[in-house]
Amino acid sequence: MTDYEPVIGLETHIQLNTESKIFCACKADSWEDPANTNICPVCCGFPGVLPVLNKAVVDKAVILARAMHSDIRDISYFDRKNYFYPDLPKGYQISQFDRSLASGGWLDLPMPGGDLRRISIHKLHIEEDAGKTKNEGGRRMIDFNRCGVPLIEMVTGPDLRSADEAAQYLIRLRQLLRWLGISEADMEKGHLRCDANVSIRPAGADHLNTKTEIKNVNSIDAVREAILTEIDRQKAEVTAGHRIESWTLEWDENRKKLKKMRSKETEADYRYFREPDLLPIRLDETWKAAILANYPELPLERRSRFMQEYSLPAYDAEILTSERSLSDYFETAVKAYTGDPKKVSNWMMNDVLRMINDRGITAVDLKLTPVYLAELISLVDAGRINTSTAKSLLEKVDSSGKHPAALVEEEGLGLVSDDTPIRTACEEVIAENPVEVASFKSGKTTLMGWFVGQVMRKMRGKADPQVAGKILAELLNS
């Protein structure tokens, strides 16, 4: 039986997190707003209105294009993509066609085992969103809030070879968009939308067969499931001697099934032509330099730098660079601490991350600042507090915002290394436990740990265990 390999390309629509829409002053994000409340004559396409380009859209698009290693054009144009649909009041969508803002590029995906898979980017352009239709009470309703919301459409080459790779692409893209601060990239809220082009071919072949397009998938799990379902369907069709037809399919999340929407249009159907109401985008060097002045180190670069510069294991580096604010937190803490960076990583992965996840916040929201964390670790190193006190202090520092050393002082949590109170406790423990003392003296020296434990208990964990051990040895061996 022939062995088939899947060939997958992803088409993503990324909603940029600008304040206002792309060509008017209406609020861009209408999540949970009542229908048709963020609209005006421009985004509703009234006759005689003129669009005015939102500069922030170009800024954010340039940042993404740079992150994708795309060629950024000095001059790019807007085009009209004509089609008729109730949620498109103008009868056309303002998009970019043959001279878009950027061309080419790639996104590297780290694969399990350490290899990188390079996924090519075929298209990257700016466009406006259309409205939204929904069925309610047996009627078809239209919400124009989304009209004119700024989008980047980004299309990969047919480079992905499994549903897992497609999911990995979306996970990395989402991480990158948030890292760059240009989109919330929340698939559930439609900030990141994905259509998948799927075909199959005999394993090892290099031609492309007819593909189908899966639309309407709004989570990464759903993309994975929908692609797996479509690969199985195509294999069954081909095995049965049928041809794959160029369909557009819709993923039904509730029934976990694909259903045929329509036979696909080709690009010629859109009758693209230059948008006459907008000037070309002229991206001169000064503007480009201003946009890229604060261009950040990207997640994968930072991940490998963490491994080299701080000798972190890949696992730690991956988690600590999952989010930009978390990786900034780590680095600030390491600089403040000056000791072994792995120790800072351990505290973050075990304790700080739990605090962040439990509360659904990000690292910048913590009152336990990276400098405070560094100080807590240093207090443990210096023997001023023990680890369990430090762990309980994390929460206290975070809820009060107080300096860790001040809290240790205030609550009397410091370890007692002064001999006198420890000696008293040791003497009491020996007096209260004659049986254990006798067996220690007859040679059961392993009881020492138990004695130290009793002293610690008596002093509610505040004794310096080394000092206690020394005094106990002296008393028991006398």
Interface contacts to Zn ion, rule CB under 5 A: 24, 26, 40, 42-43
Alpha-carbon distance 267 to 246, whole Å? 14
Q: H or E stretch including 426? A: helix 419-432
CB nearer to Zn ion: give 24 or 152.
24
| Minimum separation from the CB atom of position 148 to Zn ion (A) | 5
Residue type, 386: N
| Minimum separation from the CB atom of position 26 to Zn ion (A) | 3
Measured in degrees and rounded to the nearest 5, phi and psi for residue 106 equal -160, 165
| Minimum separation from the CB atom of position 210 to Zn ion (A) | 40
Buried/exposed 129-168: b ≥16 CB within 10 Å, e otherwise: bbbbeeeeeeeeebbbbbbbbbbbbbbbbbbbeebebbbb
Alpha-carbon distance 306 to 320, whole Å? 9
**Where do we find the tokens 């209406």?**
26
Q: At what angle do helices 448-458 and 419-432 cross, to 10 degrees?
A: 120
How far, in Å, are 258, 262, 388, 410 from residue 392 at the CA level?
51, 60, 6, 14
| Minimum separation from the CB atom of position 141 to Zn ion (A) | 19
Structure tokens belonging to residue 185 = 């990239």
Indicate left, alpha or beta for 262 from its phi (over 0: left) and psi (-120 to 50: alpha). beta
How far, in Å, are 225, 323, 405 from residue 8 at the CA level?
13, 27, 56
Alpha-carbon distance 146 to 35, whole Å? 9
Q: At what angle do helices 465-476 and 448-458 cross, to 10 degrees?
A: 120
Cα radius of gyration rounded to whole Å, the chain = 31
Residue type, 296: P
| Minimum separation from the CB atom of position 6 to Zn ion (A) | 41
Count of other CB atoms within 10 angstroms of residue 371: 15
The DSSP secondary structure of 306-370, one letter per residue, reads: HHHHS---HHHHHHHTSSHHHHHHHHHHHHHH-S-HHHHHHHIIIIIHHHHHHHT--GGG-SS-H
| Minimum separation from the CB atom of position 24 to Zn ion (A) | 3
Alpha-carbon distance 301 to 109, whole Å? 12
| Minimum separation from the CB atom of position 144 to Zn ion (A) | 9
How many CA atoms within 13 Å lie on the side-chain side of 468?
26
CB nearer to Zn ion: give 43 or 368.
43
CB nearer to Zn ion: give 44 or 473.
44
CB nearer to Zn ion: give 56 or 473.
56
CB nearer to Zn ion: give 34 or 241.
34
CB nearer to Zn ion: give 128 or 195.
128
CB nearer to Zn ion: give 37 or 400.
37
CB nearer to Zn ion: give 18 or 103.
18
CB nearer to Zn ion: give 53 or 155.
53
| Minimum separation from the CB atom of position 15 to Zn ion (A) | 16
CB nearer to Zn ion: give 43 or 177.
43
| Minimum separation from the CB atom of position 127 to Zn ion (A) | 16
CB nearer to Zn ion: give 27 or 288.
27
CB nearer to Zn ion: give 39 or 160.
39
| Minimum separation from the CB atom of position 41 to Zn ion (A) | 7
| Minimum separation from the CB atom of position 364 to Zn ion (A) | 32
* Residues 6+ positions from 385 with CB-CB distance below 8 Å: 376, 379, 393, 408, 413, 414, 415
| Minimum separation from the CB atom of position 25 to Zn ion (A) | 7
